[in-house]
Amino acid sequence: MALDIVIMAAGKGTRMKSRHPKVLHRLAGRPLLAHVLSATASLPDHRTWVVTGHGAEAVESAIAGSGAQSVRQMPQLGTGHAIQQVVPHLADAGTTLILNGDVPLIAAATAHALAQACGGERLALLTIVLDDATGYGRILRSGDPMGGRVLGIVEHKDATPAQREIREVYTGMMAAPTAALRRWVAALSNDNAQGEYYLTDIVAMAVAEGVPVVATHAADETEVLGVNSPLQLADLERRFQRRQAEALLEAGVRLADPARFDLRGTLAAGQDVEIDVGCVFEGDVTLGDDVRIGAHCVIRDARIAAGAVIHPFSHLDGATVGAGALVGPFARLRPGAELGPEVHIGNFVEVKNSTLARGAKANHLAYLGDASVGERVNYGAGSITANYDGANKHRTVIGADAHIGSNCVLIAPVTIGAGGTVGGGSTISQDTPPGQLTVARGRQVSIAGWQRPVKAATG
């Protein structure tokens, strides 16, 4: 049976007080809408439609490549009007699952269950019981307020004081038989408190036609919370992070504090991994067994092998760190930094697009860019690879066991011979031979009898 998924995302999101469309605001590093799209991706064979309006171009370019198609709603005259725009595109029959682009944490299982509850025959509503139902559409039932038959939904602004006492609310998500949905939305009117076409009015229509209406309760409040303001976005972010942190703790990862942990992507961790407070992980990060991450590190798209230690305040992006390596504190590993086993990178050292072989060390205040560094090289404090001539980048090759003194400039392209030593303060612009000492700096001279200038006597 055909399954169409409609994600409503045309609304303005006034309370975000932002120039950007609400559904593109980020939760855990991804747009709200992307969360909804990935929740539905696993549903059986389906087509997805996103209703766009406010910020349509931006939203449409954000979904390009997701397989979802966009349908514009201009102007935005309510949720029923949004569905009126999309029904001409839907399958003739089957189920239409309607979700909101600003309710990001809907679980795949819940969306699937809602579509199944419809089964192309029933109108299935996702509802939840809230302590404070202010602002929500209330579920009207016959008799018993929880157990009776569903009769309709009344919007908060249209509800009587007695109806406002009802705590079972519509979450904004439903699944409807597609053919009936098409008929119902065509019959909507905007004769209500907000002058909008309410999708929720179709519930009473279904009841009048004798179409069964089923209300499925959402188990978890977090799944159905919408984002309308920065405060709600921040609240949902913390709930999401808490959930991820708990999953990692349950898997054995020792987070110092689950409330001070942020994962904006995926984190695969081995056994006995420890992560101190305030770390942010982005993209895809892999941590081997016994890895320790110090406080306040930002780590994006990185692979850190077993036993490595990342000391506090380090920033890693697109880097690989070998087994047993030590990094930081205050280290910066940029894309293409590949550290071999037992490499040491100390404070205020920046590494970009460079490989360091086993046991190489750069412990203080240094830059390595576009370099190949051999095993056991010792790279002194204050030394840099001058890899950029203003137009092109060039490589520096440092042979195994070379020793680069402090404050050297290695002007690329250049090769430092294996086992050689470069004296501190040297500016190296030609290849150096292996095994020798190379010094390239002004010779030290001392001038005997030199007099310091004295201040001229005045008046």
Identity of the residue, 193 or 219, whose beta carbon is nearer to ligand UD1 in the bound complex: 193
**Helix, strand and coil percent figures for the chain, each rounded to 5:** 20, 35, 45
Residue of the chain from 31, 55, 78, 294 that contacts ligand UD1 (CB under 6 A): 78
- Name the catalytic one among 217, 296, 364, 394: 364
Q: What residues contact residue 415 under an 8 Å CB cut-off, 6+ apart?
A: 396, 397, 398, 399, 431, 432
Question: Closest distance between ligand UD1 and the C-beta of residue 215, in Å?
Answer: 13
Asked if 200 interacts with ligand UD1 (CB under 6 A), we say yes
Identity of the residue, 170 or 261, whose beta carbon is nearer to ligand UD1 in the bound complex: 170
Catalogue the long-range contacts made by 261-264 (C-beta closer than 8 Å, 24 or more residues apart). Answer: 262/28, 263/28, 264/28, 264/29, 264/30
Residue nearest to ligand UD1 (CB): 137
* DSSP code of residue 22: G
In degrees, rounded to 5, the angle at the alpha carbon of residue 263 between the alpha carbons of residues 262 and 265 is: 155
Contact region with ligand UD1 (CB under 6 A), list: 33-41, 76-84, 208-216, 418-426: 76-84
Taking a C-beta distance cutoff of 8 angstroms, is the pair 399, 416 a contact?
yes
Give the Cβ contact number of residue 315 at 10 Å.
19
Count interface residues toward ligand UD1 (CB under 6 A).
28
> H-helix or E-strand containing 246?
helix 230-250
CA distances from 239 to 110, 131, 264 (A): 18, 18, 13
Contact region with ligand UD1 (CB under 6 A), list: 99-107, 183-191, 381-389, 439-447: 99-107
Strands 355-356 and 371-373: parallel
What residue has token string 């994962």? 263
Asked if 110 interacts with ligand UD1 (CB under 6 A), we say no
Contact region with ligand UD1 (CB under 6 A), list: 71-79, 282-290, 299-307, 385-393: 71-79
Main-chain phi, psi angles of 364, to 5 degrees:
-145, 135
Asked if 104 interacts with ligand UD1 (CB under 6 A), we say no
Identity of the residue, 60 or 301, whose beta carbon is nearer to ligand UD1 in the bound complex: 60
Residue of the chain from 48, 150, 152, 155 that contacts ligand UD1 (CB under 6 A): 155
Main-chain phi, psi angles of 46, to 5 degrees:
-155, 165
Residue of the chain from 5, 10, 323, 326 that contacts ligand UD1 (CB under 6 A): 10
Asked if 171 interacts with ligand UD1 (CB under 6 A), we say yes
156 belongs to the catalytic site = no
Identity of the residue, 110 or 438, whose beta carbon is nearer to ligand UD1 in the bound complex: 110
Residue of the chain from 87, 153, 233, 293 that contacts ligand UD1 (CB under 6 A): 153
Residue of the chain from 136, 184, 261, 367 that contacts ligand UD1 (CB under 6 A): 136
d(CA 85, CA 116): 24
Asked if 79 interacts with ligand UD1 (CB under 6 A), we say yes
Asked if 172 interacts with ligand UD1 (CB under 6 A), we say yes
d(CA 180, CA 206): 8
Asked if 170 interacts with ligand UD1 (CB under 6 A), we say yes
Contact region with ligand UD1 (CB under 6 A), list: 30-38, 167-175, 252-260, 346-354: 167-175
Q: In the chain, count of helices (H) and strands (E)?
A: 8, 37
Per CB under 6 A, which of residues 41..70 are in contact with ligand UD1? Answer: 51, 53
Tokens at 385, concatenated: 């690879």
The set of catalytic residues is: 364
